[in-house]
């Protein structure tokens, strides 16, 4: 391969798998950067979906059109292919070369629609920063924010909200709907609707930043042949959207969202704590105080974290006189070490300058 002429289409596609030096030789020998294989797949598309950012840059520099469709029916776009794979560096290269983030490929998908549906928050941010329309609907006229809410990815929802994405009420409705279902069962139903019931299945729960990724696979003779995944940050998303819409969720509902994952490191928990601290009123104090004196260690932790900075405004700590004694008792008497530690951390907030988290 390395010593043979490289000016034809076949040799360029072989070069893609041999590294950037081989691609350079093929291009110098006369291969077109716009080359397509026998199926109509372009070299640029293949390099994009294979996550070959250096090769993508070489092809773009040699004249490949970042927006030229690929595939037998011209239904695939390099940018969409890179987004689907989560290939951030390739996405950056295509956007830098002028790829239009709002172009639609087959069935009406845009790059942002793919990013929203797959929970690729960083890529969604890149697309939006390069002018992607946050309100451009995809298939079935679904708005990106609604798709991201269904996905359960709070970082993706935050990115869309920063760029003024419309559809807040519809997205809130979807997030609340997902709160009422089991994500694994929802995925399984969708897969069985496509592939029929009765298959063996495998379910995995994988930690991701601020949440959990649930993956369901259908198996045939022990091997997966179909699958899908979804995140579980629907509680955090509902809380974010309610805040934007000026809605005030009941305390019990917020507590359920925080406690459902049983992990203070999840976004569902953190968004509940953040929103309640900002309320800073008597009703919120009473709710947090009730949680702090409950018998459930997780509720105790939740109460302590809310009390830690409840209503803090610059140097003002309006509930100090009542919160500190509660926290001191919890720090001293809590049976569960994590509850005692949460109370101790909360007390630190009252002995140090206010931090407006």
| Residue whose pair of structure tokens reads 């907030």 in the numeric block | 349
Compute φ and ψ for 171, nearest 5 degrees: -65, -40
Per-residue pLDDT, averaged over 103-116, amounts to 96
pLDDT of residue 8: 62
Residue 106 has a pLDDT of: 87
Q: What is the pLDDT of residues 16-50, one digit of tens each?
A: 999 999 999 999 999 999 999 999 999 999 999 99
Set out the domains of the chain in order of their start, with CATH numbers: 9-164 (1.25.40.20), 261-351 (no CATH)
Q: How far apart are CA 313 and CA 291, in angstroms?
A: 23
Which one, of 34, 237, 258, lies nearest residue 151 by Cα? 237
Q: What is the pLDDT of residue 314?
A: 76
**Closest-CA residue to 199 (of 180, 171, 223, 169):** 223
Please compute the mean of the pLDDT values over residues 80-88 and round it to a whole number.
98
227-260 pLDDT, tens digit per residue, is 999 999 999 999 999 999 999 999 999 999 999 9
List Cβ neighbours of 41 (8 Å cut-off, separation of 6 or more).
70, 71, 76
CB 33 within 8 A of CB 25: no
Phi and psi torsions of 250, nearest 5°: -60, 155
What is the DSSP annotation of 249-290? --HHHHHHHHHTTT-TTSHHHHHHHHHHHHH-SHHHHHHHHH
């Amino acid at each position: 391969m390395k010593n043979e002429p490289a000016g034809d289409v076949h040799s360029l596609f072989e070069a893609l798998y041999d590294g950037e030096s081989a691609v350079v030789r093929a291009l110098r020998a006369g291969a077109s950067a716009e080359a397509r294989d026998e199926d109509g797949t372009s070299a640029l598309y293949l390099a994009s979906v294979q996550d070959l950012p250096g090769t993508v840059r070489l092809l773009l520099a040699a004249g490949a059109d970042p927006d030229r469709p690929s595939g037998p029916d011209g239904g695939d776009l390099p940018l969409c292919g890179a987004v689907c794979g989560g290939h951030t560096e390739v996405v950056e290269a295509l956007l830098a070369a002028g790829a239009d983030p709002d172009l639609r490929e087959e069935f009406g998908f845009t790059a942002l629609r793919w990013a929203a549906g797959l929970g690729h928050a960083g890529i969604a941010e890149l697309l939006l920063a390069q002018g992607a329309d946050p309100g451009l609907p995809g298939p079935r006229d679904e708005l990106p924010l609604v798709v991201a809410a269904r996905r359960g990815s709070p970082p993706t929802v935050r990115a869309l909200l920063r760029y003024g994405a419309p559809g807040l009420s519809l997205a809130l409705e979807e997030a609340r709907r997902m709160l009422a279902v089991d994500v694994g069962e929802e995925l399984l139903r969708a897969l069985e609707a496509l592939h029929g019931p009765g298959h063996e299945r495998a379910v995995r729960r994988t930690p991701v930043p601020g949440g959990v990724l649930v993956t369901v696979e259908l198996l045939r003779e022990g091997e997966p042949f179909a699958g899908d995944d979804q995140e579980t940050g629907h509680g955090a998303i509902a809380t974010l959207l309610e805040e934007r819409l000026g809605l005030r969720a009941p305390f019990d509902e917020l507590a359920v969202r925080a406690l459902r994952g049983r992990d203070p490191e999840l976004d569902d928990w953190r968004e509940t704590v953040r929103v309640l601290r900002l309320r800073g009123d008597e009703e919120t104090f009473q709710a947090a105080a009730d949680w702090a004196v409950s018998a459930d260690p997780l509720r105790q932790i939740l109460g302590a974290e809310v009390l830690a900075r409840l209503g803090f405004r610059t140097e003002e700590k309006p509930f100090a006189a009542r919160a500190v004694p509660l926290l001191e008792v919890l720090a001293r008497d809590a049976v569960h070490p994590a509850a005692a530690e949460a109370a101790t951390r909360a007390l630190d907030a009252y002995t140090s300058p206010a931090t407006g988290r």
